[in-house]
Amino acid sequence: MKIVIVTDIFGLCESIDNLIKHLAHYMINPVVIEPYQGMRYNFLSEQDAYEAFIEQCGHDKYFSFVSKSLSIEKPELIIGFSAGASAVWRASNLDNLDCRGAICFYPAQIRNHLDIKPKIPLKVVFPCTERAFDVLDISNRVSSYENVNTDITLFQHGFMNNRSAAYDLSGEMYGLKLIEMNISS
CATH number of the domain bearing residue 166: 3.40.50.1820
Q: Which domain holds residue 134?
A: 3-37+48-184
Which pLDDT does position 172 carry in this prediction? 97
Domain count, the chain: 1
Secondary structure, 3-state, the chain: CCEEEECCCCCCCHHHHHHHHHHHCCCCCCEEECCCCCCCCCCCCHHHHHHHHHHHCCHHHHHHHHHHHHHHHCCCEEEEECHHHHHHHHHCCCCCCCCCEEEEECCHHHHHCCCCCCCCCEEEEECCCCCCCCHHHHHHHHHCCCCEEEEECCCCCCCCCCCCCCCCHHHHHHHHHHHHHHHHC
The mean-pLDDT minimum among 37-41, 71-75, 126-130, 181-185 falls in 181-185
Which pLDDT does position 44 carry in this prediction? 87
Q: Examine residue 85 and state whether it is found in any structural domain, yes or no.
A: yes
For range 31-58, the mean pLDDT:
95
For range 147-174, the mean pLDDT:
97
Question: Does the pLDDT of residue 184 top 90, yes or no?
Answer: no
| Percent of the chain predicted with pLDDT > 90 | 96
Question: Does the pLDDT of residue 97 top 90, yes or no?
Answer: no
Q: Examine residue 42 and state whether it is found in any structural domain, yes or no.
A: no
For range 57-69, the mean pLDDT:
97
Question: Does the pLDDT of residue 185 top 80, yes or no?
Answer: no
Q: Examine residue 43 and state whether it is found in any structural domain, yes or no.
A: no
Q: Examine residue 77 and state whether it is found in any structural domain, yes or no.
A: yes
Mean pLDDT (the chain, rounded): 96
Q: Examine residue 176 and state whether it is found in any structural domain, yes or no.
A: yes
Q: Examine residue 145 and state whether it is found in any structural domain, yes or no.
A: yes
Which pLDDT does position 115 carry in this prediction? 96
Q: Examine residue 113 and state whether it is found in any structural domain, yes or no.
A: yes
pLDDT band at 107 (very low <50, low <70, confident <90, very high): very high
Q: Examine residue 162 and state whether it is found in any structural domain, yes or no.
A: yes
Question: Does the pLDDT of residue 163 top 80, yes or no?
Answer: yes
